[in-house]
């Protein structure tokens, strides 16, 4: 374009000869072609950036979670961690997953903190009214009963646990399961703790008779903090939690358009082979389009 301006100037000043007109024409044509190419490329980049479904600052969401293997851990492992990492990296680049104690995360979202998201959450009847259950993830491992091997509890009747003492992870689905046992006549003494590690430590020190948790979480917790869990065994018992549907849930005080946008992006990803491979990688199962 600099060359074209120079030539045009020469033309207006009568500084070129007629035999140069052909060269001048060719130069102008080449410059105009280059201008169209650059303009077209710039326009393509602009339109691409404009069409990316990233959210604006006004749509900011707060993502709350806690360590719960094999769903998510603060060192970047787990099925939900990989799913959320994909969504946040691509569509919510300014957002972060906040790992905090489960009861605090649960309470913040349940109490109606604006535009707050909680994961990974087991769906229980008493929880349903407090959240918007928009995003079914997969089936999680069920809660089971663990006790010291030397206790020799009866394996056929859960009522044999009546009168025993157990440690409950505050706000966890295992607490809900134990409360359900109480409704079925299994009367228990309960101690509430902040996480599953505390519950395991209490079991090892003989301060409680048994705990209720998920096998993958139990094994990972023992490994992470080098606990000698070889003395603990899973009791064979009738199922206490036949199905454990896990979700990403929203505060009831979440803007509908913000919630719906995330849900759409999530469900689009859930249809992909990449999503299904993540679920399988962590030994979990996705059932249907819930």
Q: Which domain holds residue 69?
A: 57-140+244-281
| pTM assigned to the model | 0.78
Average the pLDDT over 241-252 and give the result: 93
pLDDT at 64 over 60: yes
In a domain, 92, yes or no: yes
Give the sheet arrangement for strand 245-251, strand by strand. 97-99, 62-65, 116-122, 245-251, 131-139
Residue 287: inside a domain, yes or no? no
Residue 148 confidence (pLDDT) above 60: yes
Give me the pLDDT at residue 151, please.
Answer: 83
Question: What pairs with residue 212 in β-bridges?
Answer: 145
> Is pLDDT above 50 for 11?
no
Asked, for residue 289, whether it belongs to a domain, the answer is no
- 38 and 173 in a single domain? The answer is no
What pLDDT sits at residue 153?
Answer: 77
Inside any domain, residue 249: yes
% helix / strand / coil in the chain, to the nearest 5?
45, 20, 35
Mean pLDDT of 136-162: 87
Q: Are residue 266 and residue 183 in the same domain, yes or no?
A: no
Which range has the top average pLDDT, 27-41, 79-93, 163-177? 79-93
Q: Is the dihedral of CA 80, 81, 86, 88 positive or negative?
A: positive
Same domain, 116 and 249: yes
Percentage of residues of the chain with pLDDT beyond 70: 78
Residue 49 scores a pLDDT above 50: no
Average pLDDT over residues 168-175: 92
- Given a cut of 80, whether residue 50 has pLDDT beyond it is no
Kindly state whether residues 64 and 96 are assigned to the same domain: yes
Within this chain, do residues 102 and 134 fall inside the same structural domain, yes or no? Answer: yes
Residue of higher predicted confidence among 180 and 53:
180
Residue 239 lies in a domain: no
The backbone region for 8, taken as left when phi is positive above 0, alpha when psi lies in -120 to 50, beta otherwise, is alpha
Q: Using one digit for the tens of pLDDT, what is the confidence trace for 174-229?
A: 999 999 888 888 999 999 999 999 999 999 999 999 999 999 999 999 998 788 89
Q: Could you tell me if 237 and 158 are in contact, meaning their C-beta atoms sit under 8 angstroms apart?
A: yes
Q: Is there a domain that residue 290 lies in? A: no
Residue 101 and residue 197: Cα distance in Å, rounded? 12
My answer on whether 222 and 78 are in the same domain is no
Give yes or no: residues 209 and 276 share one domain: no
Is residue 18 in some structural domain? yes
194 contact partners, CB below 8 Å, separation of at least 6: 101, 103, 169, 170
Cβ atoms 176, 151 nearer than 8 A: no
Is residue 28 very low, low, confident or very high in pLDDT (cuts 50, 70, 90)? Answer: low
Note whether 167 and 99 are same-domain residues: no
CATH number reported for the structural domain that contains residue 249 in this entry? 3.40.190.10
Examine the domain organization and report whether 86 and 19 are in the same domain.
Answer: no
Sorted by sequence, the CB contacts under 8 Å of residue 263 that are 6+ apart come out as 134, 135
């Amino acid at each position: 374009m600099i060359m074209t301006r120079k030539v045009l100037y020469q033309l207006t000043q009568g500084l070129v000869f007629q035999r140069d007109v052909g060269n001048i024409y060719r130069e102008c044509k080449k410059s105009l072609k280059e201008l169209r190419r650059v303009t077209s490329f710039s326009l393509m980049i602009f339109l691409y950036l404009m069409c990316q479904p990233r959210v604006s600052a006004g749509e900011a969401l707060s993502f709350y979670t806690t360590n719960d293997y094999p769903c998510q851990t603060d060192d970047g492992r787990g099925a939900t961690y990989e799913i959320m990492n994909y969504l946040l990296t691509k569509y919510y680049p300014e957002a972060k997953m906040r790992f905090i104690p489960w009861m605090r995360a649960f309470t913040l979202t349940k109490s109606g903190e604006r535009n707050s998201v909680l994961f990974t959450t087991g769906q229980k009847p008493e929880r349903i009214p407090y959240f918007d259950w928009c995003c079914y993830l997969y089936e999680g491992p069920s809660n089971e009963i663990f006790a010291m091997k030397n206790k020799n509890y009866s394996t056929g009747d859960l009522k044999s646990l009546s009168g025993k003492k157990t440690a409950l992870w505050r706000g966890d689905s295992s607490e809900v399961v134990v409360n359900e046992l109480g409704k079925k006549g299994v009367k228990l003494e309960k101690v509430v703790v902040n996480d599953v590690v505390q519950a395991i430590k209490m079991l090892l020190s003989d301060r409680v008779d048994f705990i209720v948790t998920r096998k993958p979480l139990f094994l990972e917790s023992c490994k992470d903090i080098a606990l000698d869990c070889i003395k603990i065994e899973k009791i064979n018992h009738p199922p206490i939690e036949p199905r454990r549907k896990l979700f990403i849930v929203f505060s009831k005080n979440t803007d509908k358009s913000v919630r719906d946008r995330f849900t759409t992006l999530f469900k689009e990803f859930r249809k992909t082979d990449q999503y299904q491979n993540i679920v399988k990688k962590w030994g979990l199962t996705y059932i249907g389009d819930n």
